Homo-oligomer: A and B are copies of this chain.
Amino acid sequence: MWLHTSCDLEFDITVPTPFVLMLRPRSGAQQWVTREEYRLVPSVPMFEFTDYYGNLCQRLVAPPGAFTVSTAAEVMTADCVDQAPGASFVEVQDLPDTVLSYLLPSRYCESDRFHQMATSITAGQQLGYDQVAAIETWLHTTIRYETGMSDVPVSAVEVNARQSGICRDLSHLGIALCRSLSIPARMVVGYLYGLEPMDLHAWFEAFLAGRWYTFDATQAELKGGYVVIGYGRDAADVAVYNQFGPAVYPTTQKVRVQRIEKEIC
């Protein structure tokens, strides 16, 4: 399906503040961006680089006063997400080199503390996709999903203690559980068509049978309409904005995802 996505952030800046933004969906194996827009008001110099995970990141220094970042894109993405019950566990020795780092614990996914719990949640499951599906179901039915944004990311250990969390938090716990079973898992941030209430979204992917599969513990069933902005080990890697110096939060964050018809001529 073709989607029009947009994210407008408005900040109230007091001192010149360096930002690293990650707001540009990239064309790749799973989506194709045909139109895109990136606007800063006021206009300031902006430099782009590619991080370790292949994400396009933008650097700038926001000047004091009102500062707005507006991005929009037209993206082609899958109508339904691939699912593969029974897809096999990949032995660690057979994983591609670049996937290995997604087995390690990271800031918000303390996978080194979850082996026992993951084993119990996935008891009786065939190794691989079915384990991750069991984790996803367990999260969906056990951890209360809250909408809205929390101020700071919360780690898997903390989410497990609270038994509730936003999309990002559920993903952290899902990722930690997967990794503790030697299943590579990574964080994804982006857009989801039809999300209620509309906002930026976070979900996770697990590497099974030679490729990455999408999981989302916040949804009753997996539908299509996902648009990826960034991949990483956890929320620390894929913040849509990182600012340095005194904390700054958007005064407004407006996210929209609309289905569009693309004329083919």
| Chain A residues with a Cβ under 8 A of chain B | 18, 20, 26-29, 32-39, 41-43, 45-52, 54, 56-61, 76, 91-93, 97, 100-101, 103-107, 109-110, 112, 152-153, 182, 236-237, 242, 244-245, 262, 264-265
**Chain B nearest CB, measured from A180 CB (Å):** 11
Given contacts A105-B107, A106-B107, A236-B106, contact A27 B42 (CB under 8 A): no
**Chain B nearest CB, measured from A152 CB (Å):** 7
**Chain B nearest CB, measured from A248 CB (Å):** 13
Nearest CB to that of A239 among chain B residues?
B104
Which DSSP category, helix, strand, loop or mixed, fits chain A's interface? mixed
The 7 A-B residue pairs with the shortest CB-CB distance in the complex, in nearest-first order: A27-B48, A18-B92, A49-B97, A92-B244, A18-B93, A105-B107, A52-B52
Count this chain's copies in the assembly. Answer: 4
List 11 additional A-B contacts (Cβ < 8 Å) besides A36-B37, A105-B236, A182-B245. A27-B46, A32-B46, A43-B264, A50-B50, A59-B100, A103-B242, A104-B107, A104-B242, A106-B106, A106-B107, A106-B236
Contact B101 A51 (CB under 8 A): yes
Q: Which residues of B contact A93 (CB under 8 A)?
A: 18, 59-61
Contact A27 B52 (CB under 8 A): no
Instruction: Give the contacting residue for A45; candidates B32, B52, B104, B237; CB below 8 A.
Output: B32
